[in-house]
Amino acid sequence: MLIGYSLALLLALVLGAPWWLLRMATSGKYREGLGERLGLVPTRVRRWLNGAPVIWIHAVSVGEVLAASRLIEELTQRLPEWQIVLSTTTRTGQKLARERFGENRVFYFPLDFAFAVRAWLRVLRPRLLILAETEFWPRMLAECRRADVLVAVVNARISDRSWPRYRRLRRLWQPLLIGLAAVQAQSELDAERLRALGVHNVQVGGNLKFDVRATRPAAVTERLREFLPGSLGVLVCGSTLAGEEEMLLEAVPEGVVTILAPRHPERFADVAQLLRRRGERWVRRTEWMQAPATLEPGTVFLLDSVGELASVYSLADVAFVGGSLVPAGGHNPLEPAQFGIPVLMGESFENFRGIVEALRAGEAIRIVRRDELGAVLAAALDDRAGARAMGRRGLEVFEREAGATARAMAAILELLAVRA
């Protein structure tokens, strides 16, 4: 199976080479970290290791890095004689991880070829690989078993979108997943799906995202507090995708300050062009920070930065979480809920179903159809008392569901104790 998989992966890369090369040449998006992806371990990482035992954590992008942050901090404190290293797949995840943990122990995850995976395993010699969510790469799992590296999964989930594909291929996945040393699933449904794929050591640990807290305000948040008129409504629209910005701009009531945060940095220019084309009164975060001024009623503030949205949510009277008006599965509603901010989302939230259902059970979120978006936004911004009550209920849910990090830590320490 692995030979067939490797050939298929190689064929996909060869056929897609013209597109990849074009993207590298025009945007640099995939050029960064290419050597690391191909198995070249940089000197900074080699020096960081210093002969200590290693735990390797893999978190795909920004959301997974944020979710794993508390766990990484706990491991660093509880296991001072170990080195904790972190890999990501995306550039935005890499940027955030380096900002939080330093560049010496952060690198790009290798492509799933034997030569690249083995190169990293030879240098790191990890005792344990921890995968965040469901980053199951066949070659990596096989090579870890070959090198006697324990593999654990935290925050494990199988989305509604992914489940049919996993189920069809369960006979192929079972030999790889049966060897997982420990799996902490987000929910009982995720645990059931994993067991159906042949995973034995599954426990329901909860969602690490309930333990993520913005520890300090971002620089832009502190400046905005000074320049946001207190009497105006503030709507923060976070993690928006293509098509959503226009829907939201059409629906926002007059006189509201809208903070618009596109999900992907490569779309900042496109959204700026949309705002110009619509004739909106708007300002970019990067330019505004150089000469801050009071935001007038009806202004759109384009948050063209990475890693600041979670903090900026604290400024909102109402938050709308994007990726949900288009069929993309939604983004994390806990980022505003942690501040007691009332949350609205569209009908596509399957990637965060467990979190959304917990908030719905606590009457702490409103799911909005496209055709009612304007009316719901206006009502939420107008009814300040009702919005604050919803926000308080969301904070209660957030605090009640916390604890996944402690459960994951206990499972990891038990694994290490058994292996010692």
Residue 250 a catalytic site member: no
Could you tell me how many residues make up the chain? 420
Question: What is the C-alpha to C-alpha distance for residues 179 and 132, in angstroms, rounded to an integer?
Answer: 17
Question: What is the C-alpha to C-alpha distance for residues 412 and 153, in angstroms, rounded to an integer?
Answer: 10
Cβ-contact 65, 133 below 8 angstroms? no
Question: Would you tell me how many other CB atoms lie within 10 Å of the CB of residue 198?
Answer: 16
* One-letter-per-residue 3-state SS of 156-218: ECCCCCCHHHHHHCHHHHHHHHCCCCEEEECCHHHHHHHHHCCCCCEEECCCHHHHCCCCCCC
Closest CA to 72 of 60, 59, 81, 53: 59
List 32, 36, 64, 308, catalytic entry: 64
Helix (H) or strand (E) holding 261: strand 257-262
What tokens were used for 17?
């080479």
Residues with a catalytic annotation lie at: 64
